[in-house]
Amino acid sequence: MLAGVRSDAASGVWSAIHRPVVGVCGRPPHAATIRRVLTGVDPVAVEGAVTAWALARRHDTAAAAERVAAPRNQQRRVYAVDGKNLRGAGQSGGQQTQLVCVVDHAQRLILTPTEVIDGNEIAAFITALNRLPDLRGCLIPADALHTQTGHASYLAGRGAHYLFTVKDNRPTLRRALTALPWRAAPPAADPGGERSHGRRESRTATVLDLDQRPGHQLLD
């Protein structure tokens, strides 16, 4: 896939063309060998091995140096959770294969790709994060689908922080948030904006401290 091929046969042709690169350990694999290996491996075992390999080879020293030099609010490790359709992979019934992945922002690594079973992306959230050994102090952003009480309790139990989007799938929570005194919050500074996806984006954040307010456990 990374080389631009889309089939077992194309993979075999690519291996033959690039024999000096892929043939260092012997004869390049035939298309039938590639197909037999890919259909015979355990996906969960492969995902676990790839995640362990990526975690073991992160540039920890460089990352630590960057965190020390960065402002305090940028030193926290961020693991974003998101679901995607897997390009070029289909199931026997014609459905697309869906994955929930954890993305390490600092190192730009995709960790713990977890298959979504029967379209239940919510269940795959905790399965994916369970494969990471330590979440203490980490920030876990996720979209509105994962704004769930169970997810919040799970992350709090592992010592992590969460940043969830609230939309109409949680109407009671959204109404409670809308009723908060946003106008009384200090005005947010203009970050200046940046160019992304062919347009200039400018985002601001307004923060309210709910610790001293009745009913601040909004997700309960």
Q: Which of the two residues, 188 and 98, has the higher pLDDT score?
A: 98
- Residue 159: what are its φ and ψ, rounded to 5°? 75, 20
Residue 162 token pair: 């969460």
Task: Please check the confidence at residue 54 and state whether its pLDDT lies above 70.
Answer: yes
Cβ contacts of residue 220 below 8 Å, gap of 6+? 149
176 with 154: CB under 8 angstroms? no
Percent of the chain residues topping a pLDDT of 90 = 24
pLDDT in the model for residue 39: 86
Residue 69: predicted pLDDT: 66
pLDDT of residue 213: 55
Residue with tokens 């362990």: 52
* Residue 199 CA: distances (Å) to CA of 76, 97, 185, 193, 194: 28, 31, 29, 10, 8
Question: What local confidence, expressed as pLDDT, does residue 2 receive?
Answer: 72
From CA 102, how far away is CA 110, in angstroms rounded? 6
CB 157 within 8 A of CB 136: no
Q: Which of 131, 162, 136, 133 is nearest to 149 (CA)?
A: 162
The predicted pLDDT at position 71 comes to 65
Confidence label for 220 from pLDDT (cuts 50, 70 and 90): very low
pLDDT single digits (tens) 85-137: 777 666 667 677 888 989 887 777 888 888 888 888 999 999 999 988 889 99
Write down the residue that tokens 């139990």 correspond to: 157
- Thinking of the domain 42-181, which architecture would CATH place it in? 2-Layer Sandwich (3.30)
Residue among 112, 91, 93, 94 at smallest CA distance from 102: 112
pLDDT tens digits along 1-45: 777 888 888 888 888 888 877 666 778 788 898 889 888 988 778
Residue 117 CA neighbour count, 13 Å, CB half: 7
Phi-psi region of 112 (alpha: psi -120 to 50; beta: other; left: phi over 0): left
Q: Which residue has the tokens 């993979």?
A: 11
Exposure string of 147-185, with b = 16+ CB inside 10 Å and e = fewer, is bbeebbebbeebebebebebeeebeebbeeeeeeeeeee
The CA distance from 182 to 205, in Å, is 11
pLDDT averaged over every residue in the chain: 80
| pLDDT at residue 72 greater than cutoff 70 | no
Using pLDDT thresholds of 50, 70 and 90, give the confidence band for residue 164.
very high
On whether the pTM is more than 0.85, the answer is no
Q: What are the structural domain ranges in the chain?
A: 42-181
Mean pLDDT of the region 201-214: 72
